[in-house]
A = this chain, B = another copy of it.
Amino acid sequence: MTQVRSRRERPAKPALSRPGIVTAAVALMRAEGLERVTMRRLADQLDTGPASLYVYVRDTADLHAAVLEEMLGQVDLAPAHGGGDWRERLTAVLRSYLGVLFEHPGLARSALVARPTGPNALALIESLLVILEDGDVPGPRAAWAVDLLLHFATATAAEQSTRTNDPAMGQQDEDMAVALRSASPAAYPRISALQDELLAGPGADRLAWGFAVLIDGIVHTGRPPAT
């Protein structure tokens, strides 16, 4: 009797599974941020103990990588197959990737170390290769270029999203501004002279310039043959 009752009051606890765990982890991240997606908190959410998760998940890094792979499904890959300037299409996809990371600080930081390898990650890589092909970048060079471009986007997201979203980190921007502005012209003449330029520019401009530099460099710089 009591058993039936408790079954009615809340649905039978669903069996644990890796997809179920990852889905719950994504939900938890949306609600509280990736930092709060801990084994213990996630287990609470799933009505079990933390030890149970280790049947499906190697460790916390593995869990976070799985969350990232899931989120990569949201990257807009449509520009890969559209027409128009290939450089613009390339930056469009990268910007979309960046946007996903940017929304969830911590995700970018984990992306730097835990690279996802699921279908969404592969689709992103494939799309970038498609666009580089349209730009007549030779295959082997394109292979390395994909790495470089994702590397740059990920690092930018890791840096910016931490700074923007973490309240305490705004302080560090301030620290840097003060340090640059008060740099002694005798010891650091160029910093002194360029202080405004070093600090200047909205993030968007700097990002656009970064993409332009990379694409231009990729187009002009040959790769050594494989060994």
Chain A 105-138, CB within 8 Å of chain B: the 1/0 string?
0000100111101110111011001100100000
Please indicate the chain B residues that have their CB under 8 angstroms from the CB of A109 in the complex. 109, 112-113
A209 to B200, CA, bound (A): 29
Question: Measured between C-beta atoms, what is the minimum distance from A7 to chain B in Å?
Answer: 40
Q: Which stretch (A21-29, A34-42, A95-103, A168-176) binds chain B?
A: A168-176
Q: How far, in Å, is A126 (CB) from chain B's closest CB?
A: 5
B202/A226 in contact, CB under 8 A: no
Contact of A159 among B112, B194, B218 (CB under 8 A): B112
158-174 of chain A: CB within 8 A of chain B: 158-159, 162-163, 168-169, 171-172
- Asked whether any CB of chain B lies closer than 8 Å to the CB of A210, the reply is yes
Q: Is the CB of B144 within 8 A of A197?
A: yes
In the assembly, what is the distance between CA of A198 and CA of B115, in Å? 14
- Contact string against B for A residues 61-102, beta-carbon threshold 8 Å, 1 for contact and 0 otherwise: 100010000000000000000000000000000000000000
A194's contact among B123, B140, B206, B223, by CB below 8 Å, is which? B140
A64 smallest CB distance to B (angstroms):
12
Chain B CB within 8 A of A43 CB:
no
A148 and B205 form a contact (CB under 8 A): no
A224 within 8 A of partner (CB): yes
Tell which of B144, B145, B168 touches A201, judged by Cβ atoms closer than 8 Å: B144
Q: Which residue of B lies closest to A175 (CB)?
A: B117
- B191-A129 in contact (CB<8A): yes
- Kindly provide the distance from the CB of A135 to the nearest chain B CB, expressed in whole angstroms: 13
Distance, CA A224 to CA B200, complexed state (A): 11
Known: A152-B155, A213-B218. A198 touches B163 (CB 8 A): no
From B61, B125, B162, give the contact of A168 (CB < 8 A).
Answer: B61
Are B212 and A129 in contact, CB atoms less than 8 angstroms apart?
no
16 A-B interface contacts by CB (under 8 A): A109-B112, A113-B159, A113-B162, A115-B176, A117-B172, A117-B180, A122-B183, A122-B191, A139-B193, A140-B200, A144-B209, A152-B152, A201-B224, A202-B227, A212-B217, A220-B220
